[in-house]
């Protein structure tokens, strides 16, 4: 199976968001850090949903 570039890049982005969250927590920016973490994880969730939907459509059309 081919490597999914979007999934790989979104995972790398999520790791960077978590590092930023930790950095902001150290510097007492709690409100901003929570918003950054929430928006960063939303990207990963949307990518995951899109990938699953694409595979579902491919499986449905192949039968």
* pTM value surpassing 0.75: no
pLDDT of the residue at 17: 92
pLDDT score of 1: 57
Where do the domains of the chain lie? 7-62
Q: Distance between CA 35 and CA 22 in Å, rounded?
A: 13
pLDDT of residue 44: 83
- Rg of the chain over all Cα atoms, to the nearest angstrom: 16
pLDDT of residue 26: 93
- Summarised one tens digit per residue, pLDDT across range 9-37 is 988 998 999 999 999 999 998 888 999 99
- pLDDT (tens digit, 9 = 90+) per residue, 40-62? 888 888 888 888 876 666 666 66
């Amino acid at each position: 199976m081919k490597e999914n570039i979007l999934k790989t890049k979104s995972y790398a982005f999520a790791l960077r968001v978590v590092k930023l969250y930790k950095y902001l927590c150290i510097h007492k920016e709690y409100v901003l850090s929570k918003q950054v973490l929430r928006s960063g994880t939303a990207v990963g969730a949307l990518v995951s949903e899109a990938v699953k939907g694409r595979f579902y459509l491919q499986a449905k059309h192949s039968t």
